[in-house]
Structure 1
Amino acid sequence: MTIDVEDYFQVSAFAPYIDRDSWPNLECRVEANIDRILAILAAGNVHATFFTLGWIAERYPAMVRRIVAGGHELASHGYGHLRASDQSRAEFADDVTRSKALLEDIGGNEVLGYRAPSFSIGTGNLWALDVLKEAGYRYSSSIYPIKHDHYGMPDAPRFAFYPNGPDGLLEVPITTVQLMGRNLPAGGGGYFRLLPYALSRWMMKQVNQADRQPAIFYFHPWEVDPGQPRPEGVGAKSRFRHYVNLERMEARIGALTRDFAWDRMDRIFLGKQ
């Protein structure tokens, strides 16, 4: 179970409509939403991995400490939600090093995992995984083996693998199911809100039972917040993807905690106790 800790105005699809310089002046809702998520997870006795933006952690250190105090893994989502594919090697190294040090200072634990904003590591920038290892990370969850208009590496393995060899970084992709030779998304995001819950549950059970692999699920704090502000001028496609069925999300996350057994990424893939 994984949560990408960012606020509604930081999603990549809104970048053309919300100036990055305006972020400090916008209403932040992430802290209240994280507290709702922590309550859902506690009720289901679930421990999760929180891929957290440094920008958020810097402003809400007490929230970060509540995540750690709840027994959850604190991991990195970079500092300012910049796509890895939009950064040079030096810029990316600075971003992931800065965010790791900041999260470790606030949370008090070593940060081992990273997830690129918008799953922006793929064929054209696999060097980013070497940079992550050099920065001290042990695993990444940044490659989505699907075809998508904003991201994706459809030819990548569907389950945990070493893209740059056994001495490199472990990559743990978001879950997909394979039907008629094509990988279909089955691990969260807008797909989970759009599709019937029974279908999403079936796909994850297929991965558990037929593939005999753990499913990797992700969502965002803003997805449990149907009352969030709605920026003006957002295109119809982005608006639909962002807002579809937000009012159903909290109940669906609760159902997931009852229908499956979940744990932190570091425990499942690194054997951390």
Structure 2
Amino acid sequence: MANMLTFDIEEWFHANYDGVLPDRSKGSGFRTHMDTLLRLCRETGCKATFFILGCIGEDYPDVVKAIAREGHDVASHGYGHELAYKQTIGEFKADVKKSIDILEDLTGTKVLGYRAPSWSIVESNLHYLEVLVELGMRYDASIFPVKTFLYGIPHAPTWIHKPVVNGRELDLYEIPMSVMRIAGRNIGYSGGFYFRFFPKWVIKRAIHAANRRGSSSIVYLHPREVDAREHRLDLPFKENFIHYYNVQGTPAKLEDIMRSFRFTSIAEHLKDNFDENAKLTLTAELVR
């Protein structure tokens, strides 16, 4: 069974903590990080979905083109890493559309999917998913079925589904982040802090368990998480722990996980596993 590999493509300073003003003049190792991720994909035979900020497309057009050229799924992460639940619906639509236009101009391929910065599609703005349908998108991967101080819808479905908003099923697939049950609660295990926090054997066991149930797991990481030498935000203790714990161990862990399981992109997973209409539509749009 193929699992899904995803990366949120942003700079080291893209975060959503109140009162944190990063010094963007420090530069970054972004190109090196992207070289690492693309090399790992090539060497392990994995395909991935890259959720890319529109501003990254403006600053690094060659990187976006390389992602598309190597056969990966180019999707939107919004334009400037603004929290969706802090935007009006009009601001949200303009933000997403701007990113789509930039990415499509660079790749010549339709953008099929979206992930909100910091998982910022929550109960209060779930109706924003209707905007994605209006923009012609085929899937969303913004909902994390957990509850944290920043994000989450703890009772959200944990399987791929078409969400119901305002009593209407949307023509859009929701790809929720993978979770496992611990003490009656949903806990992430395969991305970001959770990927860095849990030992490799826990992640592997959880992926195997999901696969035995007939479900695919989703891995997600950020470019900054493959380089412990990258600049760091000046954060309070709790936020610093969440943002940077065990970054030094991430590259080797990621490579091992990628070599231990088969990974594909979200678009390819939908094309291969869902209804014929979805297969035909996604195939046509992927080859444009």
TM tier, smaller: over 0.9
Matched to 1:95, the amino acid is D
The 8 Å contact of residues 177 and 206 in structure 1, kept in 2 or not, is answered as: no
Partner residue in 1 for 2:214: 212
CA distance in 2, matches of 1:179, 1:168: 32
- Matched residue type, 2:101: A
What is aligned with 2:276?
none
What is the CA deviation profile of residues 63-102 of structure 1, one whole-angstrom value per residue up to 9, with x for unaligned ones? 1111111110100000000011010000000001110111
Q: Hey, what does 2:35 align to over in structure 1?
A: 35
Deviations 1:109-160 (A, max 9, x none): 1100000001111211111100111011111000000121110000000011
Where do 4+ consecutive residues of structure 1 move more than 6 Å? none
1:202 aligns with 2:174: no
1:228 is aligned to 230
- Aligned match of 1:162: 162
Paired with 1:104 and 1:195, the residues of 2 have a C-alpha distance of: 36
- Report the equivalent of 1:263: 264
Q: Residue 133 of structure 2 aligns with which residue?
A: 133
Output the amino acid matched with 1:201: K
1:108-147 matches, cutoff 5 A? 108-147=108-147
Question: Structure 1, residues 220-257: CA drift from partner, whole Å, max 9, x if none?
Answer: 0000010011344x211111111111111111111111
Which TM-score applies when normalising by structure 1? 0.94
Within 5 A, what are the aligned runs for 1:1-273? Answer: 1-13=5-17, 16-18=19-21, 23=24, 25-164=25-164, 165-209=168-212, 211-232=213-234, 234-270=235-271, 271=279, 272-273=282-283
Q: 1:229 to 1:175 in 2, by over 3 A?
A: same
Give the counterpart letter for 1:116 in structure 2.
Answer: A
Whole-Å separation in 2 of the counterparts to 1:231 and 1:11: 9
Query: Which letter maps to 2:7?
Result: I
Structure 1 vs Structure 2: percent identity of aligned residues? 36
Q: Deviations over 1:195-215 (max 9, x none)?
A: 111001111111111x31111
Q: Distance in 1 between matches of 2:95 and 2:36?
A: 29
Q: Secondary structure at the match of 1:126?
A: helix
The one-letter code matched in structure 1 to 2:243 is H
Consecutive unaligned residues in structure 1, runs of 5 or more: none
Q: Residue type matched to 2:221 in 1?
A: F
Q: Secondary structure at the match of 1:9?
A: coil
The Cα of 1:29 is off from its aligned counterpart by: 2.3
Q: How many aligned residue pairs are there? A: 267
Superposition RMSD in Å: 1.4
In structure 2, C-alpha distance between the alignment counterparts of 1:70 and 1:89, rounded to whole Å: 34
Q: Distance in 2 between matches of 1:258 and 1:64?
A: 24
Structure 2: unaligned runs, 5 residues or longer: 272-278, 284-288
Q: TM-score, normalised by structure 2?
A: 0.89
* Bigger relative contact order (CA 8 A; separation at least 6): 2
The structural deviation recorded for 1:180 is: 4.2
How far apart are the structure 2 equivalents of 1:96 and 1:133? Answer: 12
The one-letter amino acid of 2:57's match is: A
User: How far apart in 1 are the matches of 2:135 and 2:9?
Assistant: 21
CA contact (8 A) 1:54 1:77 kept: yes
